[in-house]
Amino acid sequence: MNKLSFRIGGVHPADNKFSRERSIETLPLPKTVYVSMAQHLGAPAKPVVAPGDKVKAGQVIAEPGGFISAFVHSPVSGTVKSVSMRNDLAGRPATHVEIAVEGDEWAEGIDLSDTLVSEIRDDRQTILDKIKACGVVGLGGATFPTHVKLNPAPGKKADCLIINGAECEPYLTCDYRIMVERPREIVVGAAIMQKVLGCRCVIGVEENKPEAIAALRSAISELGYRDMEVGVLKMCYPQGGEKQLIDSVLRRQVKSGCLPIDAGAVVQNVATALAVYEAVQKNKPLVSKVMTVTGNCLPADRMHNYRFRIGTPLSFIIEQAGGVPEGAAKIISGGPMMGKAISNLDACTVKGSSSILYLDAESTKRKPAGNCIRCGKCSDACPMGLEPFLLNRLYKAGDIEGLEKNAAQDCIECGCCLYSCPANIPLLDNVRQAKAQALGAIRARAAAAKAAAEATKK
């Protein structure tokens, strides 16, 4: 079969999916969890519990703080100890609800059984309400509230739902494991979202996961879904980037400054599909998910794919997996291309956590930057067709107009430029700043135009 791929750029790091054969294990409960109020894109959630309150697992502990925001649920049963500021994974202060774990009692009405519920009884609005009420957000990394994404603005219509099972980041295997172990739930989750959007569905999986492709295909035929298929994607980073995936599957590109829905596409991660299934069919809020513990300096027997309760401290997970391995120079939350290097191991997992990755110094320590030799490898690698060497230069020259003209604002921060630069120039570090400056200029202009329009109206 024809393998799908995007048309611009891309790089081929070794996939190093060492932990692919490790079945999902349920991580024991820690003594205390700290649940962040800012674990989704958009406004932080507002806590509705106070110290001393008894909570059950799956009970709402925070409400959305705006239109783009999400409910947060208690991942455990126990007593709220405090609601206070704490540094999150990225080292930024955020409000956390601290809960001391007592037993494992779940809130009413949650179906914890493994029985597959494939019949979709709810109507469109009920499905959206349930997804919202269960705090489901995009688990591919951006953590955008799913109910907002599934409810396009009036006049906009999706003609294809793309389920993202590319898992193009090296090392990570958490999506792979759920595709192999729970393909039917994922497929039902996809069908639920299809019902909301009223369109066909393609599940995109990279070619290095044949078992996942087979499992999803047999689940689709078993459940008799006609309008759903698995698309085999070429192994190329960033195949799972939203814009790249749309190009791969639909041969369409999202116009600069527009959303996927403008190109008729909605993209949701496989883990999100599973969370949607659990929310709609099982009434189970998003309080747990799967993460990979892996790395290139970790013995194979200490690699794991864990189902963990969201809010579990990293230090607890690290301890359960046998501690920080010898030779680890960097601990990363997420994949090696876009993940965050962590310095504070007391930070807690969030809805978007997908891994603990240990890399040794040899593979990850940055080398001193040399002169740009204009080899053009960064331009060849950029999946957005940008010229990182040029943006780097314009940024250093402070030419914001030039940055905007050369589309710095389109950067998706995938890391291909820095990855491929033979002179080790910190391209993305500078392009990130450049992007912020270009976006700032665009927003300032839009705000000024709006103000001027309002002034003339009066």
| Residue closer to another protein (CB basis): 159 or 410 | 410
- From 94, 420, 434, 437, residue interacting with another protein (rule: CB under 8 A): 420
Evaluate whether 393 touches 374 at the Cβ level (below 8 Å). no
Task: Confirm or reject binding of residue 373 to another protein (CB under 8 A).
Answer: yes
Size of the site for another protein (CB under 8 A): 67
User: C-beta of 151: minimal distance to another protein in Å?
Assistant: 23
User: C-beta of 25: minimal distance to another protein in Å?
Assistant: 25
Task: Confirm or reject binding of residue 450 to another protein (CB under 8 A).
Answer: no
Task: Confirm or reject binding of residue 396 to another protein (CB under 8 A).
Answer: no
User: C-beta of 372: minimal distance to another protein in Å?
Assistant: 5
- From 43, 120, 214, 423, residue interacting with another protein (rule: CB under 8 A): 423
Task: Confirm or reject binding of residue 243 to another protein (CB under 8 A).
Answer: yes
Task: Confirm or reject binding of residue 424 to another protein (CB under 8 A).
Answer: yes
Task: Confirm or reject binding of residue 160 to another protein (CB under 8 A).
Answer: no
Site string for another protein, 39-58 (x = CB under 8 A): --------------------
Task: Confirm or reject binding of residue 331 to another protein (CB under 8 A).
Answer: yes
The one segment of 94-102, 111-119, 139-147, 413-421 that binds another protein by CB under 8 A: 413-421
The one segment of 80-88, 95-103, 284-292, 366-374 that binds another protein by CB under 8 A: 366-374
Task: Confirm or reject binding of residue 387 to another protein (CB under 8 A).
Answer: yes
**CA dist., res. 375 & res. 249, Å (int):** 31
Site string for another protein, 309-328 (x = CB under 8 A): ---------------x---x
Task: Confirm or reject binding of residue 415 to another protein (CB under 8 A).
Answer: yes
| Residue closer to another protein (CB basis): 103 or 422 | 422
The one segment of 31-39, 207-215, 274-282, 336-344 that binds another protein by CB under 8 A: 336-344
The one segment of 117-125, 126-134, 330-338, 434-442 that binds another protein by CB under 8 A: 330-338
Task: Confirm or reject binding of residue 379 to another protein (CB under 8 A).
Answer: yes
Let me know the angle formed at the C-alpha of 130 by 53 and 125, rounded to the nearest 5 degrees: 145
For binding to another protein (CB under 8 A), which residues are involved?
Answer: 8, 11, 13, 170, 243, 247, 253-256, 258, 324, 328-332, 334, 336-343, 357, 359, 361, 363-367, 370-377, 379, 382-387, 389, 406-407, 410, 413-416, 418-424, 428-429, 432
